Structure formats: C-alpha cells, structure tokens
Chain A
Amino acid sequence: MASDTRQELINLISRRELFSSLGQGAGALALAMLLAEQNATAQSRYTLTPKKPPLPVKAKRVIYLFQNGGPSQVDLFDPKPELRNQDGKKPGTGFVNDVDVKKTGTWLGSPFAFHRHGSCGMELSELLPGLGGHADSIALIRSMVSEHENHEQACCHMHTGMPQAGRPTFGAWVTYGLGTPNQNLPAYVALLNPAGMPVDGSRNWSSGWMPPLYQGMPVRASADSPILNLNIHGPQAAADHRLAFLQTLNKEHLKNHPGNLDLEARITNFELAAHMQLEATDALDLKKETAATHAAYGLDKPETEVYARQCLMARRLAERGVRFVQVMMTGQPWDTHSDNSNQLKSLCKSTDKPVAALLADLKQRGMLEDTLVIWTGEFGRTPFAEGKDGRDHHKRGFSMWMAGGGIKGGTVHGATDEFGYSAVQDIVTVADLHGTILQLLGLDYRSLSYRFDSRDQRLTDVHPVSIVKQILA
C-alpha cells in the first residue's frame, strides 16, 4: 500500500488539476485555498487531517462487518458435542433464557458438522467453508460477553461502549483520533444494503455528542446515487460554472474578511465536495473491477450479490484511504428466533463467499497487513431452543473474529462451557475488545478522550479494560 504521504501528494496534485479546470484565475485561487486549508486545519479544533497516533500502528484502517441480529455461536464457531448429546433434554438450574425465563427451551444441538481448517486446525462450521480457507489469518474469540439481551442496547453497547444510546460509535472515535489520509472521501463510511436500513438506523454510525464531522457517512451499496446529494443536477459544465461563480462570490467576501479561518475552511469544503463527487463516484464504480473479481466475490450470483457488492466497495474505499468502513445489513438478519438452521444456511450462503473473497483480495493486494477486519454481532444465541427450532438472544457467551493488521492469525481465544452457554475462560468484554481495537490502530483507550458534560469522555468510559494480548501478533 502506498504511504499516506504519497496518497496526500496524489490528492494535492489531482486537486490542482481540478482547480485549473475551473477557468481563468482559478489556479491562483487554488493555491490560496490549499494554503488556507493548511492554516485552517492547523488551527481549527475539529478536523479530519491525519493525526499521528501515540502508540505503534498495527492497522491503519478498519473494515467492520457488523452482523446485526446475533449470529449463533454454537452453529458457526463454537463446536459443542455435549450439547448435541443432551439434545432435547431440559437444561439444569442456572441455565435460563435472559430474555424471558419462561422461554427456556430444551438443549438444541447444532445439526452442522465442524471441520478443522488451516495449519492451526481451527474448528469452524460446515456453513463457513470460505472463512475456513482463511483460518490461519483470523483470531477467533469464543468468550465474548455483552451486558444486554435486547438488540438495540446490545448494538449500542457493541458500537459505542455503552448500552444507552447517545454516545459516539467507535468508528467516530477512530475518525476523531486518527483523522483520515484522503480528504476527498468521507473518513468514516457506513456501507448500507440498499434494500433498507439496519435496526436503529443512523444510531449505528452516529457521532453522539461529538461534532457530526465524525459521524459515518451513509453510502448505499447500489449503482445509482450511493451517497446523499452526491449527484449534481444538470450538466457537469453547468455545475462547474456554478461552483466557480460561488467561489468568486466567496473570494470577494473573503477579501473583506482577511484571516477568517472559518470562511477559508468553508471555501475549501466546496472544493472537497466537488472532488468527492469525482473520487467517490470512481471509488464506488464496480465496473472498474474485472469479471474474475466480480466472480470471486459472488457479484454474479443472486444469493451473494448484495453482500459481495458491499464487500468489494469496502475494499475499494479502504484502498483509497477511507479510515473506517462499517458494513451493515438490513434489519437484523441473524435474529433466528425460529427455523434457526435453515436461516443460518441461507445467511452463510449469501455472506461467507464475499467475506472470504474480501480477505483474499486484501491479502493479495498487501492490504491485509495494515487493515483490521472485524466480524461480530451484538451478541450470540441460546444453546437451548426457543420454540421448536429457534434460538433466542444470548449475552453470556458468544463468538467473533478479527483478521489483519496486528492480529495473530490462527488463534482461538477463550472458551464457553460445555453447552456454549457461559463464557468461562479468558472472558472478553466489549470494553476489552474496544481497548484492543484502539491499540491496534495506535490509539490508547486511556488517553483518547473527548470533553463533554464537563468530563473527558472515553470510548470505554470507566469500564475496566484488559487488552486481549493473546490475539495480537
């Protein structure tokens, strides 16, 4: 991957080209703007200019594949032979459904076979053959715990560190802490399924009480109008004229307001927006990928097409310097309250291949070294049945995995009890996970703070944090 400095240089040059296309006098204006931008970013409190993190950097960017609904750990990641042995039997005392005690069903063994993969021999479900191919690249945590058994609170907890809504997501924290190397693209992208929003909508990428500068920009993984207000109306030439005329007005205005950094910054932002129109359109144009790549991700198959599109767009955005890409699914598909097995089959069929292709693609491009890929839901599912063949929400033990920058591949960390009910060994809390992710990005969870409510707030707030050292390379 090209260094960030080189990327910045490319941006500068291409912006000069844009300015020179704006017509007479724009060249001098462009130079003034670039200088103004440097001034503005040096002095303004809230910017997206790249910042040097305090700790060694293992990963420069994040692709966060969020699996809304709560994927079933015992069917996908955490083989439990004893659960199968006890199938249909009533759980003993102490095993209850936290959502509703009365809904505690009988043990429900997984119908899926688990196979060993890679030289590490990681056991994964037969539903995840693609991921199996990358077992030596991922660190699997089987001992995650959450604090809440409701979706919204648990999602909030996973994204923001607290079950109560209102705080910034960790994508916002990362954006705030690191800025972004490419100002022509949003720093933090929420890549959405065009079919619809996830449960809880924009709260999943909100900047909470931080300025909206740090919130995720929603990008719909579709061919047309992926970004709100990105498409110009009217012909390009007219749009260029309009912008040039606006900047002429602004320049006249600035003459009477020398040294006003806010005004200068805003002039620059119009140029950035114009540039974003070009660069984002290019970044999201999947026609620029080969047929082989399309096939590898599964863009050519109806069942994988949507997630393939999201994964491939994620790679293209990450490649261009987007700091944080958060891939979201519509609604909460992993919420398998009934017909658990069949639903999992279809979900894995539509996502396993694109995810595997993403990992392979990143690896092949040398990007996996400094890209952190995170795959998790907000919680797991009960090892006992809900109704006949479903599983309910479960916070006491579930699985997630990470791969890429700073991650020790082929690692299995932590364990649940013999039924996959409670995490019992090397328990990892959401705060531990957040602290670890920040550290991989060179940020210190203790010092990364934002002042709000007369307090220096942190992502992990006052929760104790143990960095999950065992999964670090």
Chain B
Amino acid sequence: MALNFQQTGSVFVRRVLLIVFIIASVAMMFVYAREGEDGALHKAQAAFSGVTAPLEYAGAVVSSATENAADSVENITANDETLNGLREYNAELVEQYAQFEEYAKENERLRQLLELKDTYSLEGVGARVIGRSSQAWSQTITLDKGEADGVDTGLTVMGSFGVVGQVISTTPHTSVVRLLTDPQSGAAAMVQSTRAEGIVRGSLEGLLYLEGLPIDAEINPGDIVLTSGLGGSYAKGLLIGTIVTIDERSGHATRRAVVSTNSEAQALEEVLVVFSADSKALPDEDTGDDDTTSTEEPS
C-alpha cells in the first residue's frame, strides 16, 4: 500500500530554508575558527556541556553496566578450565562484599592521587569523572567540579599515574577536560634523562606521540617524559609517561616516539585538577639535578 504523503511545506520554503541553514552553518564555522576561547560560540558549547552533564552522568552508569555485561558474557563463554579457575576465585571472594571491594579500589585510587599530590607538592582539587565524550572525534571527560570550586580553563589535570589532560571549558559546577590522547591536544614535554624537548600529542589511533625531538636526541625506550612547562599551558615537571618505542621515520628532520598513556578514558574515575605545582620530586637521572621549580598555572 503506497502512502500518498502530503507536502508539509512548499518546495520553495524548503529551498529557502536549506540555503539559509547552509549559510548560517558556514558563518558559524568561520566565527568559531576566528573567535577566541571567550567567544560566544565557545561559551555556548561550554554552557551546553553543563546542561547535558546530568545525562552524561547517566551515561557513566550505563558504561559501568555495559562493562559488567561484557564480563558476564565472557564468563558464560569461558571454557571448563577457565570456569574452574573462576569458581575457585569466586570462592575466595565470597565472604567479601562487592561494596567493600569497590570502596577499597576507590581508596587505592585516591591514595595514589594523594601520593602524587604530595610528591609534586600539588595544590589542587580532587574531582570525579561524571561523563565521557559522546563523539568519536574527540577525547574528553566531564568532571563534577567547576568554577565554584576554583577550576578554570587551562588547568592541568592529573590521574593516578600522571598528567591526563587539560581543562578546556567550565560551568559553575562542571568542567570539560581534553585528554592528552585527543588529537587536538598538545603539551610541551621533555625527556627527563637527556632534557630533549618536544611536543606530546594525541592521535586518532589512540597513541600518544612525542614529536619534534631533535634528530640527534638520545632517547631510549623506558625514558621518562615530563611536561616542560614551555608555553605555560601545562605545569612544569609533571609525569606524562614513559617512552615505549621510537618511531624512526626516514626523510624527517625530527624524531618521534610513542609514549605510554595515562589517560585511558574508560578507566578514569577520579582525577586531580592542579592549581599549582612544585616539581622537585623527579630529579634528573644523569645530573642528579634536583632544583626546585615552582610553576603557577596561568589563570
């Protein structure tokens, strides 16, 4: 049965609307590209993230449920040997309440954050991750702390094992953090042992690259990579990760290395937003230099 659809509007009106919307879209793109972080469209984006924060929190709950479901499917499809192992493991854990286990894990993460805070003499505020990016093209997380807690754009954010990203927008009670693994991120960095400087960038494949290293820079897998503080976008001397492999590219004037990431978005639950850092904890491997370098974040 073919339905005889009636026209809901004239073809002319639709064509006019189409042209108007195309012009409006292009105009917004140009304005967005030219305006600064304080521009109207950037502010609208930040405000909208605040509006959708409760939904994102619901999304985090769904994520947790999805992971549990995946675990259940894995258990169902496991072979006998694995099942026996799981039963034994389950017997060991049967007297423990799941809630206590959760608290223990949370306690561990917070303890690591506190250790990190003491190590670097960090001034900052702890925050929970309440949402994750709903778009494949960006790697961001939403935190439950905002302007009311002193969080401002540009502040460095640290996970349990080092820098994970930077605050890019805030609302009174939430903030959005661009992770280091986002292709649009970029942090001035240096190799701790040789002081070779470069830029740490994310990529679409999810790897973290240390780019722009001098071609004669002596770097090896396992070398520690720290923020250099150049440009003032990240506090100086904070741990980013370690070099995993060196990407030798013939015909390039600079070298590139793959750095281990601290910012697996799905794993982050609590983070520390850094107001200021006193980076004396990681002395130079070669020189034993332990100069104290205090860096205030740009406001």
Bound pair: A and B? no
Query: Could you list which residues of chain A lie within 8 angstroms of chain B, going by C-beta atoms?
Result: none
Query: Could you list which residues of chain B lie within 8 angstroms of chain A, going by C-beta atoms?
Result: none
